[in-house]
Amino acid sequence: MTYRIGQISELTGVSVWRLQHWRRSRLVVPSAASASGRHTRYTERDVVRVRVVLTMLGEGRSMADIWRQLDTRTALAFHAEQSSKVPGLLCGAT
């Protein structure tokens, strides 16, 4: 299932303006967009990311710290996902 930005705003309580700001700063990037980039669609995974950002902001973390944390987590999750497809990738074996 995918959502428009207004739906994400309603689900999370984050304003459309703030979601657009987060998109421009690459903090929360929609999973899909039209060819022109004007129409974006968010997935459940994107909703979770918005909620994680809100939690981290509530803990008093800076936007830069949140971006670094999520960027690292995203890279680790991607690596783990890829390693499940290619045996030995996670441990560095060839």
Segment 25-51 mean pLDDT? 84
CATH architecture assignment, domain 5-85: Orthogonal Bundle (1.10)
Helix or strand or coil: residue 87? Answer: coil
pTM beyond 0.75: no
How high is the mean pLDDT of the chain?
Answer: 79
Mean pLDDT, range 9-18, rounded to an integer: 95
What does the alpha-carbon distance between residue 6 and residue 88 come to, in Å, rounded to a whole number? 42
For the chain, the structural domain boundaries read: 5-85
Arithmetic mean of pLDDT, 48-68: 89
> Roughly what angle, to the nearest 10 degrees, separates helices 5-12 and 16-24?
110
The arithmetic mean of pLDDT across residues 22-31, rounded, is 87
DSSP 15-38: -HHHHHHHHHTTSS--SEE-TTSS
Q: Which two tokens stand for residue 55?
A: 């939690």
